[in-house]
Structure 1
Amino acid sequence: MSATDKPLLIKRYASRRLYNTETSDYVTLDDIAGFIRAGREVTIIDLKSGDDLTRQYLLQIIAEHESRGDSVLPVNVLTDLVRSYSTGVQSMVPQFLSSSFEMLRDSQARMMEGLGVLPNPMASMPGLEAFQRQQEAFLKTMMGGWPSGKAPAAADMPEAPAASKDELGDIKKQLAELQAKLSKL
């Protein structure tokens, strides 16, 4: 098992500071969120008591993102979660959520694989390969919040070739058509 396969151990000191045991430095909640978006599992423990605080800190990360306007959870979902704590349904909710996110990750992976298999009506268009690389980098960046997605480094982003306004308009039109087809899938 390599170092990146093992959960990253973060220790919380009495001062409430969070310490990354791999890099021997202090980290913030944003750093931890970045590790998770990059696909790392994270475990946060209290140094003094040994208690696992991972769940509390993950909820805090979610709450901070929601309060900044990065809303992912609709109010009705949050309301249902609160209700689940006061009913006997509580035992089913974690399994349901876990299964739902697993299906979402699998669907995203299949979608990314499917993009490479679809026949491409724009194959003869000049500059298509560079455009495809940019689109793939964009999709990977947008899906970077999921364990299967990783954001590319800025150096990996290809530069677009210079195109005339007519070519750019044609590309935009064809892209809109492809997006419409994809949304029907």
Structure 2
Amino acid sequence: MADDAKPLLIKRYASRRLYNTETSDYVTLEDIAAFIREGREVQIVDLKSGDDLTRQYLLQIIAEHESRGESVLPVDVLTDLVRSYTTQAQSVVPQFLAASFEMLREGQSKLMENLTTFPNPMASMPGFEALQRQQQAFLRSMMGGFGSGGKAPRPEDDEAAAKARGARDGDEIAAIRKQLSDLQDKLSKL
């Protein structure tokens, strides 16, 4: 297995310091965010108990970015996420989000491909290549690490789950899908 394919193991000591087992040095949350943006999978475990703390630290990284004004998640999406913890939709939301981010990654991949394969009349413009590289870097940074986890659920599983949960959950899911579609439209305009 290649080093990039296995997760980077970060151990949290009792002092709450985070230790990179690959480079044998201490790291910060910003360092961990940089590893993830570079495409690395990260696993954070408590040294003493062995508990997996990855989810907790990833949420903390997101919260810090959001609090600095680097907002990616609209308030209505955050509200729907909070609601999903208190409804029967909780079991379907992770699958839906994973499938949505997979679609977003595929769309980004196709956009990157189109930027490089189709002839562009602007290609002869001075500085176009530099602009194109900047756009690609921007898209990679925006999309880096999104949903690199599990596989997307099968569509028939989503339909059966939605029927079982009733119309109320279906409405919530439809609202989330619309919000995701709006976000994808905004990204495609970039």
TM-score (norm 2): 0.72
Q: Classify 1:116/1:140 alpha carbon distance in 2 versus 1 (closer, same or farther; 3 Å).
A: closer
Deviation readout 1:26-72 (Å, 9 max, x if unpaired): 00000000000000000000000000000000000000000000001
Residue number among 147, 157, 164 corresponding to 2:144 in the alignment: 147
Larger radius of gyration: 1
Contact 1:11 1:19 in 2 (8 A): yes
Match of 1:39 in 2: 39
What SS class does the counterpart of residue 102 from structure 1 fall into? helix
Match of 1:90 in 2: 90
Q: CA RMSD in A?
A: 2.0
What SS class does the counterpart of residue 43 from structure 2 fall into? strand
Deviation at 1:135, TM superposition (A): 1.9
- Alpha-carbon separation, structure 1, partners of 2:122 and 2:33: 38
Deviation at 1:138, TM superposition (A): 0.8
- Mean alpha-carbon deviation: is it higher for 107-116 or for 8-17? 107-116
Which residue identity does 1:139 align to in structure 2? Answer: Q
Q: Classify 1:126/1:42 alpha carbon distance in 2 versus 1 (closer, same or farther; 3 Å).
A: closer
Which residue identity does 1:113 align to in structure 2? Answer: E
Match of 1:71 in 2: 71
Contact 1:40 1:147 in 2 (8 A): no
**Which structure's residues are more often helix, by fraction?**
2
Deviation at 1:126, TM superposition (A): 5.8
- Mean alpha-carbon deviation: is it higher for 78-87 or for 134-143? 134-143
Contact 1:19 1:26 in 2 (8 A): yes
Structural mapping, 1:111-122, within 5 Å:
111-122=111-122
Deviation at 1:4, TM superposition (A): 1.3
- Alpha-carbon separation, structure 2, partners of 1:73 and 1:86: 20
Structural mapping, 1:8-87, within 5 Å:
8-87=8-87
Deviation at 1:120, TM superposition (A): 2.3
Contact 2:112 2:136 in 1 (8 A): no
Q: Classify 1:35/1:145 alpha carbon distance in 2 versus 1 (closer, same or farther; 3 Å).
A: farther
- Percent same amino acid at aligned positions? 66
Contact 2:108 2:143 in 1 (8 A): no
- Alpha-carbon separation, structure 1, partners of 2:104 and 2:77: 16
Structural mapping, 1:122-137, within 5 Å:
122-123=122-123, 125=124, 127=126, 131-137=127-133
Gaps of 5+ in 1: 150-181
Determine if the alignment matches structure 1 residue 100 to structure 2 residue 100: yes
Which residue identity does 2:133 align to in structure 1? Answer: A
Q: Classify 1:36/1:54 alpha carbon distance in 2 versus 1 (closer, same or farther; 3 Å).
A: same
- Alpha-carbon separation, structure 2, partners of 1:148 and 1:64: 17
- Alpha-carbon separation, structure 2, partners of 1:36 and 1:106: 18
What SS class does the counterpart of residue 31 from structure 2 fall into? helix
Q: Classify 1:133/1:122 alpha carbon distance in 2 versus 1 (closer, same or farther; 3 Å).
A: closer
Runs of 4+ in structure 1 deviating by more than 6 angstroms, as ranges, are none
